[in-house]
Amino acid sequence: MNLLIVGAGAIGVAMGATLHAAGNQVSVYARGATKQAIERGGLHRRGLLGDADAAAETVCVRDNLGEFPAQSFDFVLISVKTMANREISRLLAENRQILKPDAKLVILQNGWGNDAAYREYFSEQQVCSGRVITGCERLEPNVSRVTVYTAPVLLGNLYGLDVTPLEPLAQAISRGGIPCQTTDDVGAALWAKMLYNCTLNPLSAVLGLHYGALSEAPEGKAIMNGLIEELFAVMTASGYRTYWETPEAYQEEFYRKLLPDTYHHNSSTLQDIRKRQPTEIDTLTGKILELAAQHGVDVPMNTMLYRQIKTLESNY
């Protein structure tokens, strides 16, 4: 397969190295120092799931999508920060000649509603989604380290369409070293990740703590339990569902498995705050606030965290 990575951050670099290790041709859309680093040194994955490497001469990297050959790509993996979705969707539409006729866009991002920008230009058959809860940190512009792993990557289609075309991609990611499967209910998987991210990411960023440290005091657990209750109320009012029927069922799984599996991880929101760069809070807690307003759900704890993150961003 021929694959294009759009967004060479921690996840994008790890996925590029992984897919190359599985025997695929990998190209990358990147700019500036990241482009230069990949041109000089290729792509590298380190950490919990073992090493994967793509030498520089095996990776095609461009900062202009129009420079890739026509009808090149079977899949485009989108792992840019969610704030860039409007720009990237437009650029892909303007350069759609680089895609094969049956190419799929696969969104590998935090948050909910990221498909909307791509559906402005591409069909339901083309726009797919992935749930990634393999935590990564970028050590260098072209080197990513897997820091936590708790469940396979899940690939699917939010519109109820056949996921069989995603099987070759799922199998390739697995062969490269990151377990991956397809699912007929990727929406439930994405909402499971929303519960997890919106409970942990903004709180960890405001307090400057890794995930596990948030649970060490009863007060920390009380905050997280309150957030989970608000998140369930919004999800239910909005007509969405996930794997757990009640906040209490999720809390049991959260403290028994999900949090311990990712105990020492620093959230992407905390990493962004430390780098003094914009966070993805608008597609995480911001989306919760948007849905809460639409359905008349009171979410004071989520609102406070959202405002705190925005205050931190405004003081860079």
Q: Choose one of 184, 214, 243: the last residue of a domain.
A: 184
Residue 72's domain comprises 2-184
What integer pLDDT is reported at residue 248 of this predicted model?
98
Q: Choose one of 184, 201, 217: the last residue of a domain.
A: 184
What integer pLDDT is reported at residue 135 of this predicted model?
87
Instruction: Please provide residue 292's backbone torsions phi and psi, each rounded to the nearest 5 degrees.
Output: -60, -40
Give the model confidence (pLDDT) of 294-307 as tens digits: 999 999 999 999 99
Q: Are residues 144 and 261 in the same domain?
A: no
pLDDT < 70 stretches in the chain: none
Q: Choose one of 165, 184, 203: the last residue of a domain.
A: 184
Q: Are residues 25 and 119 in the same domain?
A: yes
CATH code of 112's domain: 3.40.50.720
Sign of CA dihedral 119, 125, 131, 135: negative
What integer pLDDT is reported at residue 170 of this predicted model?
98
In the block, residue with structure tokens 């999800």? 235
Q: Are residues 155 and 254 in the same domain?
A: no
Question: What domain count does the chain have?
Answer: 2
CA distances 182 to 153, 156, 195, Å, are: 8, 6, 21
What integer pLDDT is reported at residue 148 of this predicted model?
87
Q: Are residues 197 and 167 in the same domain?
A: no
Q: Are residues 274 and 204 in the same domain?
A: yes
Q: Are residues 137 and 194 in the same domain?
A: no
Q: Are residues 203 and 279 in the same domain?
A: yes
Q: Are residues 31 and 168 in the same domain?
A: yes
Take residue 75 and report the two structure tokens written for it: 């899949």
Give the model confidence (pLDDT) of 169-217 as tens digits: 999 999 999 999 999 999 999 999 999 999 999 999 999 999 999 999 9
CATH code of 214's domain: 1.10.1040.10
Q: Are residues 90 and 221 in the same domain?
A: no
Q: Are residues 149 and 222 in the same domain?
A: no
What integer pLDDT is reported at residue 150 of this predicted model?
85
Q: Are residues 124 and 238 in the same domain?
A: no
Q: Are residues 268 and 155 in the same domain?
A: no
CA angle 189/127/3 to nearest 5° reads: 100
